[in-house]
């Protein structure tokens, strides 16, 4: 301590600048960390919530919406096509036809009448029979033609024969029926192992097409089928086109055709395309439902709104935290600087203050005086009147010292009933005058117990250490107490 002059500039800053600056910097650093944590939390939470919401939306479309649409369409399709399938089955199992085919009955009018009656009874577009031995095509209206299985138009015949199912569904624009889009139900006539022919009916697709259009309009989803030829039915605005499943799905087409249920999600051109495929074994078709989501700015806008809310909430939290910090910082600074009982400087805060003032006095060649005050017979006050009264006495004495010093110096409770008064830029005579004023005020003031004080006064010398000044002032105090108390004594020169 006695060789501490080298560090005095730092100690001076420590009291008046360093401590507040350190506290302020710590508070700012804490605020910055809190801000970063809050904003990071809001950003991550908002981003993660949007990702979860987006994934939930996607999963809802893939696992619920598209399969439900597929189920509804399948149900309606069954209603539309179940009847012609049953009709074709009944025709294929008709004993009259079996007998007519086996006997090679030349009475074709009977056959035409049967086909006409069947068509009329079930409101079909057409009804027909093809014999397997000579591939003759008989139509309800009496037309008779020969099939040429080498051409695409009549390839359905071989496809039906080669199919393991008893019937196939074939969508075509048949020139024999004014190029109408018709679903032909082609059923094998096979009473035993031998196939005698193929018989069936054709129904219009108009109602089914309107049904598909309704679903596409209501749910904003594309609905189409993949037939046994791999063609896309009801694709875009056409009943069917030359586009195949490979043209549409490329490398995914194989998986789609090899699985009864298949889900596919494609990201393309800022759009997400969801595909749900379902194999309709009863019809030999694949039902495909497609929905497209445009990656608009709604997710980004939501994220920005959440971030704005996060910034506002962060600002409110930081403002509240700042008020709390300031409140507690002031309380902590007061606790760290002042004695709770007397509201004077405590020793911890006074020591760097003393060193700073000694440094100033030394470098600016200004006078400085120290007073050490001790309350006379204070132990007796505590013993006779109790510590509560003793505390009131100490607070009373401290208030008189602070009032006497005013803004000229600093008052510190040095320990117990001792006080140190530091008077920068004050001469020894002025310091003595202040000490006498304290004596007079104590004598005239009213308190629980009237007390006196002994004061030692020392003036700082330029080459003197802190300990040296304290020792001289303490020695003067001891002399004042030993010579009768209630007086001030000037310290001897250094």
Q: How does the average pLDDT of the chain come out, rounded?
A: 82
Judged against a pLDDT cut of 90, whether residue 290 lies above it is answered with no
Rounded CA-CA distance 11/18 in Å is: 9
How far apart are alpha carbons 23 and 29 in whole angstroms?
Answer: 10
Q: What is the pLDDT at residue 42?
A: 75
The predicted pLDDT at position 459 comes to: 96
Other C-beta atoms within 10 Å of 393: how many?
21
489 Cβ contact list (under 8 Å, min separation 6) = 454, 455, 456, 457, 476, 477, 479, 480, 483
Q: What is the pLDDT of residue 181?
A: 67
Percent of the chain with pLDDT over 90: 34
pLDDT bucket at 488, cuts 50 / 70 / 90: very high
pLDDT tier for residue 20 given thresholds of 50, 70 and 90: low
Q: What is the pLDDT of residues 423-449, one digit of tens each?
A: 999 999 999 999 999 999 999 988 889
Q: What percent of the chain has pLDDT over 70?
A: 87
- Alpha-carbon distance 117 to 23, whole Å? 103
Instruction: Compute the radius of gyration of the chain from its Cα atoms.
Output: 54
In the numeric block, which tokens belong to residue 241?
């086109």
At the top level of CATH, the class of 347-490 is alpha beta
Whether pLDDT at 117 is above 80: yes
Q: Tens digit of pLDDT for each residue in 128-164? A: 999 988 889 999 999 999 988 778 778 888 888 888 8
Residue 184: predicted pLDDT: 86
In this prediction, residues 411-425 reach a mean pLDDT of: 95
Question: For the chain, which residues make up each domain, given as ranges?
Answer: 93-204, 347-490
Q: Given this model, what pLDDT does residue 385 score?
A: 93
pLDDT at site 71:
83
pLDDT tops 60 at residue 229: yes
Segment 323-347, tens digit of pLDDT: 777 777 677 777 778 899 999 999 9
Q: What pLDDT is attached to residue 36? A: 82
Tell me which of 11 and 62 has the higher pLDDT.
62
**CB atoms near residue 295 (< 10 Å):** 13
| pLDDT for position 458 | 96
Q: Residue 208 above 60 pLDDT?
A: yes
pLDDT of residue 76: 77
Q: What average pLDDT score do residues 42-62 get? A: 80
Region 390-413 average pLDDT: 95
| N-to-C CA span, the chain | 18
**What pLDDT does residue 235 have?**
56
The Cα–Cα gap between 235 and 227 comes to 12
CATH of 93-204, one of 3.30.450.20, 3.40.50.1370, 3.40.50.2000, 3.30.365.10: 3.30.450.20
The mean pLDDT of 37-61, rounded to a whole number, is: 80
């Amino acid at each position: 301590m006695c060789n501490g002059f080298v560090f005095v500039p730092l100690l001076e800053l420590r009291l008046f600048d360093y401590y507040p600056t350190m506290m302020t910097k710590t508070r700012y650093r804490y605020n910055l960390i809190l801000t970063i944590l809050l904003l990071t939390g809001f950003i991550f939470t908002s981003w993660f919530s949007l990702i979860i919401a987006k994934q939930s939306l996607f999963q809802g479309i893939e696992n619920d919406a598209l399969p439900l649409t597929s189920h509804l369409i399948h149900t309606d399709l069954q209603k539309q096509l179940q009847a012609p399938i049953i009709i074709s089955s009944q025709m294929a199992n008709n004993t009259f036809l079996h007998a007519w085919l086996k006997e090679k009955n030349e009475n074709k009018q009977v056959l035409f009448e049967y086909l006409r009656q069947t068509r009329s009874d079930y409101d079909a577009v057409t009804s027909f029979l093809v014999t397997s031995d000579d591939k003759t095509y008989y139509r309800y209206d009496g037309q008779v033609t020969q099939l040429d299985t080498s051409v695409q138009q009549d390839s359905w015949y071989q496809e039906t024969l080669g199919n393991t199912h008893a019937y196939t569904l074939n969508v075509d624009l048949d020139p024999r029926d004014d190029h109408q889009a018709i679903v032909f139900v082609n059923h094998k006539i096979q009473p035993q192992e031998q196939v005698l022919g193929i018989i069936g009916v054709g129904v219009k697709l108009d109602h089914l097409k309107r049904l598909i259009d309704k679903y596409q309009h209501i749910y904003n989803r594309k609905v189409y089928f993949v037939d046994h030829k791999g063609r896309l039915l009801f694709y875009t605005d056409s009943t069917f086109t030359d586009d195949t499943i490979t043209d549409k799905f490329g490398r995914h087409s194989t998986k789609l055709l090899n699985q009864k249920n298949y889900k596919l999600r494609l990201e393309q051109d800022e759009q997400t395309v969801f595909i749900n495929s379902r194999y309709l074994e009863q019809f030999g078709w694949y039902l495909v439902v497609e929905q497209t989501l445009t990656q608009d700015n709604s997710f980004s806008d939501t994220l920005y709104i959440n971030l704005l809310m996060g910034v506002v909430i962060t600002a409110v939290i930081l403002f509240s935290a700042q008020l709390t910090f300031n409140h507690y910082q002031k309380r902590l600074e007061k606790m760290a600087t002042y004695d709770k009982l007397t509201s004077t400087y405590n020793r911890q805060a006074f020591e760097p203050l003393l060193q700073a003032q000694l440094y100033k006095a030394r470098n600016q060649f200004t006078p400085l005086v120290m007073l050490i005050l001790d309350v006379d017979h204070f132990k007796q006050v505590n013993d006779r009147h109790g510590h509560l009264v003793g505390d009131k006495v100490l607070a009373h004495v401290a208030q008189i010292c602070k009032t006497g010093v005013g803004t000229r110096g600093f008052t510190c409770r040095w320990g117990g009933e001792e006080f140190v008064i530091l008077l920068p830029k004050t001469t020894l005579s002025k310091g003595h005058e202040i000490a006498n004023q304290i004596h007079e005020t104590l004598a005239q003031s009213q308190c629980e117990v009237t007390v006196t004080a002994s004061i030692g006064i020392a003036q700082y010398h330029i080459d003197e250490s802190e300990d040296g000044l304290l020792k001289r002032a303490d020695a003067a105090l001891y002399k004042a107490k030993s010579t009768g108390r209630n007086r001030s004594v000037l310290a001897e020169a250094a």
